[in-house]
Amino acid sequence: MSLPSYDSRGPFPHTRLRRLRRHAWSRDLVREHRLSAADLIWPVFVCEGSGQREPIASMPGVERLSVDLLPAAAARAAGLGIPAIAIFPATPPDKKTDDAREAFNAENLICRATRAVKQEVGDALGVVADVALDPYSSHGQDGLVEDGYVVNDETLDALTRQAVVQAQAGCDVIAPSDMMDGRVGRIRHALDEAGFDRVLIMSYAAKYASAFYGPFRDAVGSAGALGTGDKRTYQMDPANTDEALHEVALDLAEGADMVMVKPGMPYLDIVSRVKQQFRAPTYAYQVSGEYAMLSAAIGNGWLDRQKAVLESLVAFKRAGADGVLTYFAVEAAEWLREH
């Protein structure tokens, strides 16, 4: 970018960028990026029982809802213009096993929740279903474990069964978050073979082994199962950026319709590189740790809730994200409607 030239004989400076910032209307006129409810996906947690609302201590304001309460919440989101929700199950401990077989039980929490939501809202709201084994495994890992190692190809068999069961329940988007090699291609093939060729795949293409997932693991009950274990043998090293492009390229080649970067704000550079490189539908997840940090600062009166949240969401758009998964989705949609 060349620097503006100035005529020393005239008023200094000729170019005054503050002129465009003087009025609200002029700021609106030249705004480069805009946030709307249509940019948001709302992650929700479901639990067993009836009439249950279970607060999540590490995520103030977020609750696990029993399946019977979820349809009303989904209808509210649809009414605000939010295009999709992502459902995550808090599987009871007695249903967690080493082989995570509850993941492909057609009557598991996520399948019942999906059917209930689709019965309530139909196609007015998309349902995104997470594909990974950690909510169902007794060891808290996203895949099957043999001799202390999370095995790849054996896990793919379980993931494809899980994806087909979720598609049968009526989900619109399969979102594999496991980070096993080759899972997008296997899931795409399995869905097509089962007659679900119109079901989308949103891959967690660049999912990092991050410290920002702690509250989420509390919410789905996998933190205790994982214990002192970690997921660094399959989730990405936070120090790597080129590797993210490799992962995204593979997932797109295997049939992913959309790709995601996770976590969000600490990885906006990855979002930007992915969007610039591939020009594919690109999403980011403002994860539980990000939500918890903002909520803590807001709760202490250090940040203005509305201003801080909306600014954080605009940052995703500025980096190139087409949409954001955020626990603030309903609040943000309400604020945007007011404006």
The residues that are catalytic are 207, 262
CB count in 10 Å sphere of residue 338: 7
3-class DSSP string for 141-178: CCCCEECCEECCHHHHHHHHHHHHHHHHHCCCEEEECC
70's tokens: 């979820």
Rounded Cα distance between 67 and 115, Å, is 10
C-alpha dihedral over 167, 322, 89, 107, to 10 degrees?
-10
Residues near 25 by beta carbon (within 8 Å), at least 6 away in sequence: none
C-alpha dihedral over 191, 285, 295, 114, to 10 degrees?
-10
Alpha helices in 232-339 (DSSP H): 242-253, 268-278, 288-299, 305-319, 329-338
What region, left, alpha or beta, does residue 195 occupy, with left being phi > 0 and alpha being psi -120 to 50 degrees?
Answer: left
Would you say 247 is a known binding-site residue? yes
User: Phi and psi (nearest 5°) for 292?
Assistant: -65, -40
Q: Residue written as tokens 């899931």? A: 187
Helix (H, G, I), strand (E, B) or coil at 305: helix
The DSSP code for 22 is: S
Query: Residues annotated in the binding site for Mg(2+), as ranges?
Result: 247
Known binding-site residue numbers = 247
